[in-house]
Each structure stands twice: as C-alpha cells, then as structure tokens.
Structure 1
Amino acid sequence: MAIPESQLETWSHQGSITQSRTTYNSIKTTLNASDTPYAAKTYKVFLQGSYGNDTNIYSESDVDIVISLDDCFQHDLSQLPVEQQEAFKTSHSNATYTHHDFKADVLAVLSGKYGNDVDSGEKAIAIAASGNRRKSDVIAAIKYRRYHKFLSNSDQSYDEGICFYTNTGTEIANYPKQHSENLTTKHQGTSQLFKPMARILKNMRSRLITEGMLKDGVAPSYYLEGLLYNVPNDKFGKSYNDTFVNAINWILEADRTKFLCCNEQYYLLFEDSPVTWRAEKCDKFLDAAVELWKQW
C-alpha cells in the first residue's frame, strides 16, 4: 500500500497565516517601541522558522522571532592564518554593550508588556499563547561572522549570520537569511513543490508521533527541511506521491554524511554541534516514515 495522493494533498497545506501574522506584528511593535533601553541602537526584528519560510503546518503554532543587534558581533577566525587573526584583533576592540546586556533588556521589555506570560527559556524567550495570540519564541541575538579573509577593514570576507548564548553559555551560531533564501531558490527550482513537500514530511512526522512510531523531538522541522533540501530537483515529480517515493529512495541510497543544512554553512548530520541533527535520529525518522508508507 501507499499513502494516497488525497492524504498527501491535505498534508501539503500551509497552517495558520492570519493569526501568526497578527501575533508577529504585535510583538514586533512591542520590540520596536521608542522607549526601550536599546532604542538608540541599531537592530532589526524579523521572522525565522516555519512560519517565516511558509513551511508551517496546522499543528505548528509557534511564531519564531529574532531581534538582532547590529552594533556588535561575535566571530570565528579559525580559517584565517595567524597573521590575519592578529590583524583582525588589532583592528577591533571588545564591545561594551554585549549579548548578555541586550538579552536582559529585551527580556525586560517583553516582561513589561506580557507579564507572567513571559519565560526566559534555555535558548529563546518564550511568550505563552493568550486569546488570539499564538505562542512565540523570541531570540535576542547579535551578528556573527565566519571569516575567510582579513587583511584590513577594507579588505576582508566573511559569511554573516547571527548568534546567541544559552543560559549555560553555549554559543549558538546560525544563518537564517541564507536558510530562507536557499529555501526560496529550492522551491522555485522544483516547480513550487519543495515547500508543500516539506509540510508533508512535517505532517507525516506528527502522524508518526501520534501513532507511537516515533518519539517527539526526534525529527524537528528545521532538520526535516534540511533533509529534503538535499534531494536533487529532478526527483520532484508530477505528483506528491511520485515525489515522496523518489525523494525517500534517493535519500536512503545517498551518502548522508555529505548532506548540508539549508543554509549551506554546516553539515546536516554532525555529532558535535548544537545546530545539527544526529544521524541515528535521522535514521529513526526514515525507518518510521517508510513503515508508515507500507502500512497505510
């Protein structure tokens, strides 16, 4: 047996848009208020995650928001020779207003507006759902630069992302702009099939959890997008059924150690990074998805 096209069509649909948009706009207005402690600094507020990339499903209610400070940045100089690392250090001084300060100010602003609905989580500041407001996660971040060259401030090259720190001090560096742009390019290159197929995988994941075939947390949405992102464009066929079969068969035969995250800055499957998927969890998802397809 196989999952019928009609079910895949249902799973391909995008989740809530209006309520999520209203939630985002409300929180963005709060973060952008003229009386915040950071109002005079340079920063931007933007969406990331499934809603921001149009791959959200009905069971995904969280709105993921980033407020990123542009006035300072963290860096990775590991690819530079020693003399270029020294040139960088000579050209830059330590920031006086740091990520720690910025996150504390953002937390104070959100707590002042939403009161006890706000919780300073391990990674993101969580705002509970209330009335028409959806649950939201706000990440207070600073810029992040991975340098490829630094000869001077006028002769340098780097990939720019964002970074933040968990409550235990772990640095999390990611590249949401590249992620979003690459998803759009992939979607266009697959005759607009990529994003519906990503939603199908996410809904399948939800069904697997409901049926007790997969534990919650094994296959986060971000990594499912990454898994599908590596599938060649010519595997996306004329129907969802054909595309699923082509994609899964290709993934099962491929060398998954070479798979990249959608941002193309990290390998998708890597053991020692806080922003990558564990190979055994990917295998569990694939095994469960194949079993669900056969049992349908």
Structure 2
Amino acid sequence: MQGGFIPNYQFKRTNNMPHNIPTVHIQKHTRGISDTKRTEVANLQKYIQELLGDTHHTFLQGSYANDTSTSDINDVDIVAIRKTTYSSVHTGLSFPTSIPWETIFSEIETKLKNQNRYTWTVERSEGGKCIEVRTSGFKADVVPAVQINEDVKSDPIAIYSFKTGIEKVNRPRTHIENGVAKHNATNQNYKPIVRMFKNWVKNHFDNTDIISSYQVESLVYNTPNENFHNDHAYSFLFVGNHIAELLSQRDILPIKINSVCGTDDITTNWNIVARQSFKNKLKESVSHGLSAYKATTIQEAQNYWDKTFNI
C-alpha cells in the first residue's frame, strides 16, 4: 500500500476490538528513560549550573526535557542563558556596552573545562551552536543563549551559530509547555506515541538526515487529539495515517505544518526527496501495522508488528 492511503473505515472497524500484538512488543517502542538515567542527567545539569554560577540560568531542553526521548537516550541539551545580557538583534534596542558571542561561548567553555568532579571532554560542536560535554555515559550539548525578554525565565531567547553567523530566536520553554498541554489533552497518550514514532524513524532511517527528532515530534503534535488512544498500537495506525495524509496535502498545497512551538514551518528546510522517502515508508508501515492489528494469531501479529518497525 505504499502508493495510497488506508481508508479510515478500516481503522474504525478495528476500534475497541482485541488484537494479538503482544503488549511487550508495543511497550518497547513507547518506553521512556529509566529513573537511574533521570537522576544522572539531573545531577549533571545541577553541577553545570554550579560551575557557571549566578551569571547564568540553565535548564534542560529538547527531547529529554519534554519526556519524548527514547529509552536509549545518550545525549541531552542544556541551555545556558547569560543573565542581564540581551540580544540587540531581536530586541531592537541599543545598549551602551556589548559583548561578542565568542566571549559568551568562551566564558562557558572555560568554566566547564576547569573542573575536577567528572572525567569529561569539552569542545565546540561542529556546527558552532553549542559546547559539547562528553562523559563516559552520554553527551551534553550546552547551548549558550542571551535574553530577549526582561525575565530570564521566559521565552523567547536568542542563540547563535558560528557556522551561519546567524542569531536565532528560540522558544525551548514554550516547546515544553505545549507538549505538556498536548499530553494532557490526549489522556496522557501524546508522549508515548512521540517516542513510538522516534523509534520507528530510528529503525528505518538510522544515521541518515531523512528527518529530525524535532520534526517527528512536530508531526505527531499536529495530529488531532481524537487520533490518540490508550491502545498505542491503535494510535500508531491513526497518527501515522494522519501524518501521511498531511504530508501528501503538503505536496500539492503550500500549507504550513507548524512546529511544536507553533512559530515555524517544519517543512521549510525539509528536503523534498527526504520528505517523500519518509512519507512512503510510513504508508507502508501503517499497512503492516493494520495487518498486525487484524492478525488472528499472536505469531502472525508479532511478525507484522516487527515488520512495521523494521525489526
């Protein structure tokens, strides 16, 4: 069924019907990170805040902060806002003194290097947007930022890339707030389904640039709430089908597919070939998922479900 959609009536016909997909095979795709990993990450973020001191406000962002990361997460993002330092680009204001981004990065880099609690390496990222801290367990990307609003604890903020030379507006806390609202509006089913689709992408497109984690989350976020169900196998069918339909509409119409933050279009810089590859593989997988849902034996259901996730 790679060339077309699966009619919605086929989904409705399976609604509330028992299926033979083993629960353990569903949960392995929706599982979040362990309590041990949570403690490890929290301790690292707290220590980085201690190193930077009162001149900075730090917090976790991205998949970890949103609880949409897969269980095997090995990297986290930590924002480090330089307090009382404002973007002249995005505030439209002029200030009596200025500080270059090189200094903002170097201050953080120096403090991260001059510590003795962890055995880690510290270096600039290849794209020049963050400072990478690598421990034996995982990697933390520390993202230097400055304020736009007067309140350091409110969005937006400004971040910088040395590769592009562009100062960009970012809304990491809006991202978190919108994710929480969506999760609550879907009876706590949104975040497990995001993790499910991230695992699906990893299994089908690992080590490629087909789609980013943020784009995956945004596509799931754009799916209407009624498509999320307590039966996560059933949710995969509905959410996957909606995403495929949405991307097909985007192929012929200049519609905007909002990010989780609601401010930018996730298809703007998404290569058309990569987008088509993602959409076609998703259609194929939804078809396999439907076969798994309708299978009459546990073995048949498991085989189709594993095929859905390229296992």
Q: Which bracket does the TM-score occupy, shorter chain normalised?
A: 0.7 to 0.9
- Higher strand fraction: Structure 1 or Structure 2? 1
| 1:193 corresponds to | 189
Is the aligned partner of 1:62 residue 2:75?
Answer: yes
Unaligned runs of 5+ in 1: 78-84, 146-152, 154-158, 272-276
The DSSP-based 3-state class of the residue aligned with 2:81 is strand
| 2:237 corresponds to | 245
The DSSP-based 3-state class of the residue aligned with 2:78 is strand
C-alpha deviations, 1:181-208, integer Å up to 9, x for none? 0000000000111000000001111111
Q: Shift in Å at residue 8 of structure 1?
A: 2.7
| Counterparts in 2 of 1:5 and 1:224: CA distance versus 1, 3 Å | farther
**Counterpart pick for 2:140 among 136, 139, 143:** 136
Q: Shift in Å at residue 224 of structure 1?
A: 0.6
Q: Shift in Å at residue 293 of structure 1?
A: 4.1
CA–CA distance in 2 between the matches of 1:288 and 1:174?
31
| 1:259 corresponds to | 257
- RMSD value, Cα: 2.8
Q: How does 1:212-231 map to 2 (within 5 A)?
A: 216-231=208-223
CA–CA distance in 1 between the matches of 2:45 and 2:112?
8
Cα contact 2:211–2:278 (8 A) shared by 1: yes
Q: Which amino acid in structure 2 is aligned with residue 128 of structure 1? A: R
Is the aligned partner of 1:73 residue 2:90?
Answer: no
Q: State the number of aligned residues.
A: 257
Unaligned runs of 5+ in 2: 2-18, 289-306
Q: Which amino acid in structure 2 is aligned with residue 49 of structure 1? A: G
TM-score of the aligned structures, taking structure 2 as reference length? 0.73
| 2:131 corresponds to | 125
- Higher helix fraction: Structure 1 or Structure 2? 2
Q: Shift in Å at residue 4 of structure 1?
A: 3.8
CA–CA distance in 1 between the matches of 2:209 and 2:22?
27
CA–CA distance in 2 between the matches of 1:161 and 1:5?
44
Is the aligned partner of 1:22 residue 2:40?
Answer: yes
Cα contact 2:29–2:199 (8 A) shared by 1: yes
| Counterparts in 2 of 1:30 and 1:60: CA distance versus 1, 3 Å | closer
Q: Shift in Å at residue 230 of structure 1?
A: 0.4
The DSSP-based 3-state class of the residue aligned with 1:126 is strand
| Counterparts in 2 of 1:189 and 1:102: CA distance versus 1, 3 Å | same
| 2:50 corresponds to | 32
Cα contact 2:89–2:167 (8 A) shared by 1: no
CA–CA distance in 1 between the matches of 2:26 and 2:97?
50
Q: How does 1:265-280 map to 2 (within 5 A)?
A: 265-271=263-269, 277-280=270-273
Q: Shift in Å at residue 266 of structure 1?
A: 1.2
TM-score of the aligned structures, taking structure 1 as reference length? 0.76
